Amino acid sequence: MLRRSVLLRAAAGALTASGSTGGTVLGARAAGRPRARSGFEGGGGPVVLSGWERGGSLVVRKVGDLTGPGITTRFRMDAADLGIPVRAPDGRLLFVFGDTFEGASVGGGWWRSPVALYGRVSRGGEPVGEAGELGGNVAWTGAVGGRYAQQLRPYSHDGPSFSTVLPTDVITIGTDMYLHVAVHQGFGNVRWSEIWRSRDAGETWHPTAARFPGTLHGGMFQLLTWALADDGYVYVLSTGFQRDKPALLHRVRADRITDPSAYRSWGRRAAGWAWGNPPTPVLDGRVGEMCLRPLDGRWLLTWFNEGDYRIDALVLDTPVAVCGATAEERVTLIRGAAWGREDDAHVAQLYGGYVIPGSTLDDLYLTVSQWNTEAGWPYRVMHFRVRGLTAVHLPGH
């Protein structure tokens, strides 16, 4: 049903064959609810990763699960992935999920995508706002659609024209929110992508006139991340859904985000790099889900590096600086692992890696997805904390 299982299974299978993750070996825990072959429930204490080529160390900890039985059951969504977070115009946190099922397994009834939940991050039972340390886990306060999490737009899955619609990133500009989604006919076969808009803090969504062919730029404008800069432009990094392509960079005026003709690519010709040139890859490798955000006066890019089976990060002075970043400047936040060989910094069949609003470079919170493609569970979103990124030797420090 969902072809992307092939992509995740290949990476996990290669690592299982090697039998090594470089992390603490944890045994699988028996439980009364579905946790088949997970081997990792967190709570084992933070993992310190040291000896980076650039010096310094990171402290990585799994805060907890964000979806699953007993956590999102009341919204009829025990199985879900992605969980792309954004702060809505009214101040609430909104998390947008991809393929979602009622039961605790892929294909486990009532298939929807995308869906969204509202939440708050608390510390000691008290909510914490945009500024200040996040500290605690996310508490869900409601679902888009009412009592149960409803699909953000009505359509039937596995139809003659397309099978599912997956979110890639969401942005708030003034009082409006924009969601970029990719329309699939079988996972990875993107027919087109489009932009939806909400003018009521994410409660309802409507398509705009913005539609991009799946073949645009050689299929490298299917999955994107975007963020608004102080110069009035939205900067857009994009790639394909197949996790076998590099990433491109575009920008568009914020007030023209729904006009495909207004997007200008960053590219290199004989005279050098310039906006409006044909797009040139700015991030090499097999790029998956990405998250670009302005943070602490700089820019943070996190992405699923499928080629190296890990979630990496770059801290940049400007979005354009991504094209000059070297492999040595990348910082690995969470590494892939084989099933049964996980700890806080090593996760089996991981992907995603989205920054939760309220994070800082020194105290970073991420949503990370996990899918056991053989068993169908775990298929969930988790909450991770990474400390010490500014202590690692980064460009400009």
Burial track 328-353 (b if 16+ CB lie within 10 A, e otherwise): ebbbbbbbbbbbbbbbbbbbbbbbbb
Tens-digit pLDDT profile for residues 84-134: 999 999 999 999 999 999 999 999 999 999 999 999 986 544 444 433 334
Average pLDDT of the residues in 43-54: 54
Residue 350 and residue 369 in contact, taking contact as beta carbons nearer than 8 Å: yes
pLDDT for 42 equals 55
* pLDDT of amino acid 391: 78
Question: In the prediction, which pLDDT does 33 show?
Answer: 32
C-alpha angle 149-152-154 in degrees, rounded to nearest 5: 105
**pLDDT tier at 40, thresholds 50, 70, 90:** low
Average confidence score pLDDT of the chain = 86
Task: Identify the residue whose tokens are 């998250």.
Answer: 291
Average pLDDT over residues 284-306: 97
Return the CATH architecture of domain 5-391: 5 Propeller (2.115)
Once rounded to an integer, what is the mean pLDDT over residues 310-318?
A: 97
Contact assessment for residue 308 and residue 350, using Cβ atoms and an 8 Å cutoff: no
Predicted confidence (pLDDT) at residue 358 exceeds the cutoff of 60: yes
Segment 194-252, tens digit of pLDDT: 999 999 999 999 999 999 999 999 999 999 999 999 999 999 999 999 999 999 999 99
Query: Given this model, what pLDDT does residue 260 score?
Result: 98
What pTM was estimated for this model as a whole?
0.88
Identify whether the C-beta of residue 121 lies closer than 8 Å to the C-beta of residue 85: no
Predicted local distance difference test score (pLDDT) of residue 125: 42
The pLDDT of residue 155: 96
- Is 60 exceeded by the pLDDT of residue 22? no
The string of DSSP letters for 203-260 reads S--EEEEEEEETTHHHHTSSEEEEEE-TTSEEEEEEE-TTS-S-BEEEEEEGGGTT-G
Residue 314: how many CA atoms within 13 Å on its side-chain side? Answer: 25
The per-residue pLDDT for 123 is 55
Q: In whole angstroms, what is the distance from residue 359 CA to residue 261 CA?
A: 34
Q: What is the mean pLDDT of residues 289-304?
A: 97
Q: Please give the distance of CA 173 from its chain centroid, rounded to a whole number.
A: 19
Sign of the dihedral defined by the CA atoms of residues 79, 82, 88, 93, in that order:
positive
What phi-psi label fits residue 175: left (phi over 0), alpha (psi between -120 and 50 degrees) or beta? alpha
pLDDT at 188: 84
For the chain, give every domain's residue range: 5-391
Q: What percent of the chain has pLDDT over 90?
A: 76
Band the pLDDT of 137: cuts 50, 70, 90.
confident
pLDDT in tens, 259-281: 999 999 999 999 899 999 999 99
pLDDT class of 192 with cuts at 50, 70, 90: very high
pLDDT category of residue 371 using cuts at 50, 70 and 90: very high
Hunting for tokens 């650039």 — which residue is that? Answer: 54
